[in-house]
Amino acid sequence: MGFKRYAGVPAIALLSVLACSSTNGAVAPPTSAPPSGVGAPGIGDTDFPLDGNGGYDVAHYDLAIGYTPATKHLDGVATIDAKAAERLSRFNLDLAGLKVRAVSIDGAAATFSRRGDELTVVPARPLAQGAGFKVKVAYSGRPQPLKDSSNLGTFGFIPTADGAFVACEPNGAKTWFPANDHPADKATFDFRITVPKGLTALANGEMAGKPTTSGGRTTFRWRESHPMATYLATATLGDFELREGTTPGGIPNVAAVDPAYHSSLDSLYKTSGRITDYWSKIFGPYPFSSTGGVIDNFAAGYALENQTKPLYGGFHPDESIIAHELAHQWFGDSVSIRRWRDLWLNEGFATYAEWLWWEHTGRSTTEATFRRNHARPANDRIWKYPPGEARPRDLFNESVYTRGGMTLHALRKEIGDETFFKLLKTWTEQHKYGNATTPEFIALAQRLSGKDLQALFDAWLFQPHRPA
């Protein structure tokens, strides 16, 4: 993000660095494979061994959530449509805290157990490989956000004075719903969020019908009909002022601000509209059915690119950060990473987008921005930290953003503007609504340019010192 970075732990120089050609696109299987019939407790991201789960693929989450700010109590029923990738006598979901009341599969009661953030579900009879199934989890309790003092700050479902601020990158979706909580398993979402009358609940996608009120509580329905990574799901709720319409280019646009940010409502709406339209020209057609932004009165110290509704945590966003979060709609949200170490594919691209916005608006050319950063002293921490291997405890290191952005500028100079911008559009088109990896990006850049770019990417992404 372009607003504030967390100071990372001091970077340690990598002594043996993988050449980028040796990193293949596949997610490694978990180191100790579980016995047959048992879904793995992790999806196979070796840096985050327990994130996500193996053995099935989620197609859709239907989340019915009731929340009461006064008591911080959440009641939820999650109905998850999934498909078994193998025969399953048991499988896991990720869920942190909260009490599970009942689990059923295709309407039949299932047994379950909890251990750490793993919820293990045992169907009455094993699921056949390839079978579609519906798992329903009824749960409740007080969501507890996750806290990480070194790098991530507070994230997940975060109670606020008037409601909740919900920003879940990297793995905080499990603080408010049972999930296959890893970006490698994307799914569509339906939300039904019930809150005390007078409050507004904001989720991804578009409203599916008008809010309905009864017994002093209002239910908001939202639907995200394009695949979404779990960390991009939100149910941010509280006092909000809304402005709704379309961008000048005709894309539905929703801006919402906590009343404390009343003075930014108009500019958030207009700037988000203008930038969404501009990125649609540069990166390819806007991938989703609406755009917008939400400013909540919670000092998160960061923003998050929640799909269709970037969330700004307790500050008036400027054009740079709006350009950044909206660029993520293409890079991160539509084209998602398959493993966290490739995070520069999100953050380097969104940072470069900020520089493109400055160039477009006459503030500074991308070349000048690149040079300014390249002139940082040799002992600057971005040179020691290879951005192509974002580390689990230091994912959002500044190098992943700034040196990641510089990587794209170095590439642009090497292959020329025409090929570079064609590459960006081809990338967003080829991996639309899917997942991708760094080796796939390098391969596409080489194919479109007809050049061997291994040395360039190796120097920029994988070496612990400043590229020439």
Tell me which residues touch ligand ARG (CB under 6 A): 1, 152-153, 155, 169, 302-305, 324-325, 347, 396
Q: How far from 154 is each of 10, 128, 147, 169, CA to CA, in Å?
A: 21, 40, 4, 10
Phi, psi (degrees; rounded to nearest 5) at 63? -115, 115
Which DSSP string corresponds to 347-367? HHHHHHHHHHHHHHTTS--HH
Least distance to Zn ion, CB of residue 118, Å:
29
Stretch that binds Zn ion, among 12-20, 182-190, 236-244, 342-350 (CB under 5 A): 342-350
Q: Which pair of tokens denotes residue 11?
A: 């970077």
For residues 170 and 227, which CB has a smaller minimum distance to ligand ARG in the complex?
A: 170
Query: What H or E segment, with its residue span, contains residue 270?
Result: helix 265-283
Residue 302, binding choice from Zn ion, ligand ARG, none, Cβ under 5 to 8 Å by partner class = ligand ARG
d(CA 343, CA 438): 9
For residues 91 and 283, which CB has a smaller minimum distance to ligand ARG in the complex?
A: 283
d(CA 134, CA 107): 8
Least distance to ligand ARG, CB of residue 106, Å:
36
Residue 155, binding choice from Zn ion, ligand ARG, none, Cβ under 5 to 8 Å by partner class = ligand ARG
For residues 117 and 347, which CB has a smaller minimum distance to Zn ion in the complex?
A: 347
For residues 94 and 347, which CB has a smaller minimum distance to ligand ARG in the complex?
A: 347
Residue 93, binding choice from ligand ARG, Zn ion, none, Cβ under 5 to 8 Å by partner class = none
How many residues does this entry show for the chain?
Answer: 468
Q: Which pair of tokens denotes residue 307?
A: 């799909």
d(CA 137, CA 46): 28
Least distance to ligand ARG, CB of residue 452, Å:
31
By CB under 5 A, name the one of 78, 179, 337, 350 that touches Zn ion: 350
Least distance to ligand ARG, CB of residue 169, Å:
5
d(CA 64, CA 138): 10
**Which residues are bridge partners to 331 per DSSP?**
335
Q: Which pair of tokens denotes residue 303?
A: 């923003």
CB–CB of 44/186 below 8 Å? no
Q: How far from 306 is each of 320, 328, 353, 415, CA to CA, in Å?
A: 17, 9, 17, 32
Q: Which residue is nearest to ligand ARG (CB)?
A: 1
322 near Zn ion, rule: CB under 5 A: no
Stretch that binds Zn ion, among 13-21, 134-142, 169-177, 349-357 (CB under 5 A): 349-357
For residues 277 and 333, which CB has a smaller minimum distance to Zn ion in the complex?
A: 333
Least distance to ligand ARG, CB of residue 221, Å:
27
For residues 185 and 398, which CB has a smaller minimum distance to ligand ARG in the complex?
A: 398
Residue 169, binding choice from ligand ARG, Zn ion, none, Cβ under 5 to 8 Å by partner class = ligand ARG
d(CA 118, CA 41): 7
For residues 162 and 342, which CB has a smaller minimum distance to Zn ion in the complex?
A: 342
Least distance to Zn ion, CB of residue 34, Å:
34
Classify residue 217 as exposed, middle or buried by CB count within 10 Å of its CB (0-12, 13-18, 19+).
Answer: middle
Find tokens 């990125």 and name the residue.
279
Least distance to ligand ARG, CB of residue 394, Å:
12
User: How many whole angstroms from its chain centre is CA 93?
Assistant: 18
User: How many whole angstroms from its chain centre is CA 82?
Assistant: 20
Least distance to Zn ion, CB of residue 206, Å:
24
User: How many whole angstroms from its chain centre is CA 417?
Assistant: 28
Stretch that binds Zn ion, among 242-250, 345-353, 382-390, 412-420 (CB under 5 A): 345-353
1 near Zn ion, rule: CB under 5 A: yes
The conformation of residue 232, written as its DSSP 8-state character, comes to G
Stretch that binds Zn ion, among 36-44, 58-66, 120-128, 343-351 (CB under 5 A): 343-351
Q: Which pair of tokens denotes residue 333?
A: 């949200």
Q: Which pair of tokens denotes residue 174?
A: 């499990």
Least distance to Zn ion, CB of residue 333, Å:
11
For residues 1 and 88, which CB has a smaller minimum distance to Zn ion in the complex?
A: 1
For residues 100 and 323, which CB has a smaller minimum distance to ligand ARG in the complex?
A: 323
Residues that bind Zn ion in the complex, under the rule CB under 5 A: 1, 347, 350
